[in-house]
Amino acid sequence: MTRPTPISGFPEWMPPQRMIEQYVLDRIRNTFELYGFAPLETRAVEPLDQLLRKGETSKEVYVLRRLQEAGEGGPGGAAADSADSDALGLHFDLTVPFARFVLENAGKLQFPFRRYQIQKVWRGERPQEGRYREFTQADIDVVDRDTLPFHYEAEMPLVVADALGGLPIPPIRIQVNNRKVCEGFYRGVGISDPEAALRAVDKLDKIGPDRVAQLLMETAGATEAQAKAVLALAEISAGDASFADAVRALGVENPLLDEGLDELVRVVETANEHAPGLLVADLKIARGLDYYTGTVYETQMRGYERFGSICSGGRYDNLASTGAERYPGVGISIGVTRMLGLLFGANALTISRPVPTCVLVAVPTEADRLACDRIARALRQRGIATEVAPAAVKYGKQIRYAERRGIPYVWFPGEPDTVKDIRSGEQMEAEASTWQPPAEDLRPVVKGAS
Amino acid sequence: MTRPTPISGFPEWMPPQRMIEQYVLDRIRNTFELYGFAPLETRAVEPLDQLLRKGETSKEVYVLRRLQEAGEGGPGGAAADSADSDALGLHFDLTVPFARFVLENAGKLQFPFRRYQIQKVWRGERPQEGRYREFTQADIDVVDRDTLPFHYEAEMPLVVADALGGLPIPPIRIQVNNRKVCEGFYRGVGISDPEAALRAVDKLDKIGPDRVAQLLMETAGATEAQAKAVLALAEISAGDASFADAVRALGVENPLLDEGLDELVRVVETANEHAPGLLVADLKIARGLDYYTGTVYETQMRGYERFGSICSGGRYDNLASTGAERYPGVGISIGVTRMLGLLFGANALTISRPVPTCVLVAVPTEADRLACDRIARALRQRGIATEVAPAAVKYGKQIRYAERRGIPYVWFPGEPDTVKDIRSGEQMEAEASTWQPPAEDLRPVVKGAS
């Protein structure tokens, strides 16, 4: 076997980074549960036709086939062809699988159904910084039967603020908009294809206002004056309800616009009561996916704005529906791998040691190994992560092993036992049934860089 | 969209089962860390040629291609053909990816390297009870450079015993054998192809001794007497070191056999010191995979023996090697999905409520919602999972909502606030900044069935 090499877009953290990731995921999960979201995992695969049903993601899907199917389906594995209705693909987000899960199990669920889901997803996009082919997302959604109370749209940012707020990461700012504001405004100024207009505005940060104006005229049938009005709306941004006055000052009248403004004001005011400065109404936020129908969210991390949103979502009314049944929902998704990839890339997160181990029990001779195991067991039973040294070599070598591993304490069996903090050199008598390390040494501690 | 249906082999637990799974995974992970194993996740995909390098799993691999590659590779997606050296497949276990990770990152790791890995794996096998196409495994491995001390082979069962021992599941029994015992014994009786003999013995539980004897003669070149001796060895089983006497009584002499017996005695005695009754030397245990070279493990759960092993592994000397470098290792893998699938199928695990939520804050009128949010926030800040009622309907309806969700407490804002245990009907005055539920109600509790 030759030395293997990484696969572009499929990141693998080393154990210290993975320990930080677990710390972050635990914090997120704990917050989700404090808000009463129940855990769910859906399978990694969905029927290919389901995956291609919505949005502009068809090029990103990984299609699966079993290796032996190549024989069944002829050379080249025709069995996995997209024409095959049984073909399976890896999910590219957690919203589409969740909508499918709700439809499939509606009879067994209590509505409104609150669930969180923390899983890997896959997209065959071109990899770049902060953009991967395999990555972890942490989603919450609330769905209800027939109608979904609006107040859940105001709840989503609060959960994210609590989940990320306690972490040693740069401050986040959640940008919100409301599809009703955009669509109502576009209709109010007389644009006939609001969806095309939205798709053009979605490119604003990427291509700038001039080319968006051009796109609006080319694809959404806008006049120059209409394009100008659309861009004026997109410029409005405020951390309080004053954005609504700025919109009304543009002089466009439309009932859907009024409804959207009322909702957006409520989202902003709820957030300001809970976490001032967290949220900003930013009317250029469009979100590419077609299925959003109300509030939409994006999130920037201070200092990393150029890499795009680390947490996005919105309200969807028509994603989960089958004939007469409708399950409107709202959700938000933390891009954990993107967020951590950016922070790791900037060395902005550290951990106090690269192993869980707090104590290494030194082994005087191999004949003492069972006795050393007993010491380790006594420490573990009280929650102290402990290893026994690999070999009964000279103590100096065993201490250097602990140093290399980043283990802070070495335990020496004897009469009495002693334990040494190998960072300070301090050594003291100790009993495995009672000794306790300082609280900050019990588990590895995650810190920000500065 | 028509109502979707499940995909055979891809299980999806409902939230209560998922909560139980998380409880089990947390327990396993915590135990792994107490033993100083550091966390690792490898990507879900490996180069197809790596996946097909060892073992008899070629038929089980899921091959991936990006949907747009169909165009590039010609009709039928030839780009994903197994002849393509860039083709990727989903990993079918966590050992092969781990061996690859060690080779790839050897320069950055401290040896012996202890890691745990809890991830999904995929196999395109025919689904049946306890056997899935997508399932979660929880692995620990220790690898070292050049040589690996034997004592790690004795450590593996102890970690599993601690991880599963505290769970409300039936008792487990770990069956161990040692490849050196089998190979030495087979060589000692004069069988020329010990690997073929091992593969035949591996089928003992499935096809019975007569057909194994036949296989031994047909595939391993054994005489009738040799086949009889092989079966006599496979019959030996004991919870203590007496198995070694039973083997020696068969009168076969071989140095590899002696070495294997010494090691196996040490594994059994270490386990008996730590957890009497946990482990049995069972000389029919063969493990199908070719890469094992020392101790091998399988695990049965009482009452579920017929479904096979829920936790397996062994020592491997040659899995991770590149030219001059060798990284021998030993590992064991808990089949979490199989174990839970069997227990869920028998209704042998329950949870005290189907949601994390401990308290539902009732909403008197929609104008009070912000005040209700404040109560919820105060409770959450002290670790009490809290939801706010979906709508300001009559209190009776809000209480019935809590009942349906399985939420034990309803909080009524007022002067003063009151909180009601809706199971007992008991209601008392309470303050959101101080009230504490009984410890057993704070989080859902997982219990065995009986």
Average confidence score pLDDT of chain A: 92
Q: Please answer whether residues A289 and A54 qualify as being in contact, where contact means their C-beta atoms are separated by less than 8 angstroms.
A: yes
Q: Is B123 annotated as a binding residue?
A: yes
B3-41 pLDDT tens trace: 788 999 999 999 999 999 999 999 999 999 999 999 999
- DSSP β-bridge partners for residue B45: B90
Q: Is the pLDDT of residue A78 over 70?
A: no
Q: What pLDDT does A131 receive?
A: 86
Residues in chain B: 450
Q: Is residue A4 part of a domain?
A: no
Q: In terms of domains, do B60 and B184 share one?
A: no
Q: What pLDDT does A71 receive?
A: 47
Of B352, B346, B358, which Cα lies nearest the Cα of B447?
Answer: B352
DSSP string over A243-300: HHHHHHTTT---HHHHHHHHHHHHHHHHHHHHSTTSEEEETT---S-TTEEEEEEEEE
Q: How, if at all, do strands B279-282 and B172-178 pair?
A: parallel
Q: Is residue B139 part of a domain?
A: yes
Chain position carrying tokens 């969807």: A316
Rounded Cα distance between B206 and B209, Å, is: 9
Rounded Cα distance between B25 and A9, Å, is: 28
Q: Is A26 annotated as a binding residue?
A: no
Q: What pLDDT does A118 receive?
A: 98
Q: Is the pLDDT of residue A74 over 50?
A: no
Question: Per the structure block, which two tokens stand in for A402?
Answer: 């602990």
Q: In terms of domains, do A56 and A137 share one?
A: no
Q: What pLDDT does A329 receive?
A: 96
Q: Is A77's CB within 8 Å of B81's CB?
A: yes
Q: Is residue B190 part of a domain?
A: yes
End-to-end CA distance of chain B: 42
Amino acid at B135: F
Q: What pLDDT does B59 receive?
A: 61
Rounded Cα distance between B89 and B19, Å, is: 30
A214-266 pLDDT tens trace: 999 999 999 999 999 999 999 999 999 999 999 999 999 999 999 999 999 99
In total, how many domains does chain B have?
3
Q: What pLDDT does B139 receive?
A: 98
Q: Is B137 annotated as a binding residue?
A: yes
Rounded Cα distance between B269 and B254, Å, is: 23
Q: Is the pLDDT of residue B2 over 80?
A: no
Q: Is the pLDDT of residue B78 over 80?
A: no
Amino acid at B373: D
Residues in chain A: 450
Q: In terms of domains, do B312 and B169 share one?
A: yes
Rounded Cα distance between A137 and A121, Å, is: 7
Q: How many angstroms away from the CA of A225 is the closest CA of chain B? A: 39
Chain B contact set for A88 (CB, 8 A): 7
**Exposed e or buried b per residue across B176-207, where buried means at least 16 C-beta atoms within 10 angstroms of its C-beta:** bbbbbbbbbbbbbbebeebebbbbbbbebeee
Q: In terms of domains, do B128 and B231 share one?
A: yes
Q: Show the domain range for B428.
A: 359-448
Q: Is residue B1 part of a domain?
A: no
Q: Which of B349, B378, B394 is where one domain is finished?
A: B349
Q: Please answer whether residues B296 and B178 qualify as being in contact, where contact means their C-beta atoms are separated by less than 8 angstroms.
A: yes
Q: Is residue A38 part of a domain?
A: yes
Q: Is B19's CB within 8 Å of A39's CB?
A: yes
B208-219 pLDDT tens trace: 999 999 999 999
CATH code of B428's domain: 3.40.50.800
CA dihedral A366, A370, A375, A379 (to 10 degrees): 110
Q: Is B2's CB within 8 Å of A380's CB?
A: no
Q: What pLDDT does B46 receive?
A: 95
Q: In terms of domains, do A73 and A33 share one?
A: no
Q: Please answer whether residues B141 and B314 qualify as being in contact, where contact means their C-beta atoms are separated by less than 8 angstroms.
A: no
B112-156 pLDDT tens trace: 999 999 999 999 988 888 789 999 999 999 999 999 999 999 999
Q: Is residue B386 part of a domain?
A: yes
Q: Is B36's CB within 8 Å of A356's CB?
A: yes
Rounded Cα distance between A132 and B44, Å, is: 13
Of A55, A85, A9, A69, which Cα lies nearest the Cα of B77?
Answer: A69
pLDDT exceeding 90 applies to what percent of chain A?
A: 84
Selecting from A53, A162, A405 the residue whose C-beta is nearest the C-beta of B110 gives A405
B255-287 pLDDT tens trace: 999 999 999 999 999 999 988 999 999 999 988
A102-113 pLDDT tens trace: 999 999 999 999
Q: Band the pLDDT of A70: cuts 50, 70, 90.
A: low
Q: In terms of domains, do B249 and B388 share one?
A: no
A304-354 pLDDT tens trace: 999 999 999 999 998 877 778 899 999 999 999 999 999 999 999 999 999
Q: Tell me the three state secondary structure of residue B207.
A: helix
Q: Please answer whether residues B329 and B142 qualify as being in contact, where contact means their C-beta atoms are separated by less than 8 angstroms.
A: yes
Q: Which of B349, B367, B394 is where one domain is finished?
A: B349
CATH code of B112's domain: 3.30.930.10
Q: Is B10's CB within 8 Å of A45's CB?
A: yes
A373-382 pLDDT tens trace: 999 999 999 9
Per DSSP, helices labelled H in B297-394 are 336-345, 369-381
Q: In terms of domains, do B335 and B188 share one?
A: yes
Q: Which of A90, A122, A153 is where one domain is finished?
A: A90
Q: What pLDDT does B57 receive?
A: 57
- Helix, strand, coil percentages (3-state) for chain B, rounded to 5, are 40, 25, 35
- Helix, strand, coil percentages (3-state) for chain A, rounded to 5, are 40, 25, 35
A43-63 pLDDT tens trace: 999 999 888 876 555 568 999
Q: In terms of domains, do B135 and B145 share one?
A: yes
**Smallest CA–CA distance from B103 into chain A, residue:** A3
Q: Please answer whether residues B124 and B354 qualify as being in contact, where contact means their C-beta atoms are separated by less than 8 angstroms.
A: no
Q: How many angstroms away from the CA of B31 is the closest CA of chain A? A: 9
Selecting from A158, A162, A385 the residue whose C-beta is nearest the C-beta of B33 gives A385
Q: Is A93 annotated as a binding residue?
A: yes
In SS3 terms, B238-281 reads as: ECCCHHHHHHHCCCCCCHHHHHHHHHHHHHHHHHHHHCCCCEEE
Q: What pLDDT does B152 receive?
A: 97
Q: In terms of domains, do A304 and A337 share one?
A: yes
Q: How, if at all, do strands B409-412 and B359-361 pair?
A: parallel
Q: In terms of domains, do A186 and A86 share one?
A: no
Q: Band the pLDDT of B1: cuts 50, 70, 90.
A: low
Q: Is A88 annotated as a binding residue?
A: no
Q: In terms of domains, do B135 and B274 share one?
A: yes
Q: Is residue B38 part of a domain?
A: yes
A192-202 pLDDT tens trace: 899 999 999 99
Which residues, including other chains, have CB under 8 Å from residue B249's CB and lie 6 or more apart? none
Q: Is residue B6 part of a domain?
A: no
Q: What pLDDT does B49 receive?
A: 86
As for the ipTM of the complex, it is: 0.94
Tell me the average pLDDT across B324-328.
Answer: 90
Q: In terms of domains, do B243 and B385 share one?
A: no
Q: What pLDDT does A79 receive?
A: 41
Q: What pLDDT does A225 receive?
A: 96
A383-414 pLDDT tens trace: 999 999 999 999 999 999 999 999 999 999 99
Radius of gyration of chain B (CA): 27
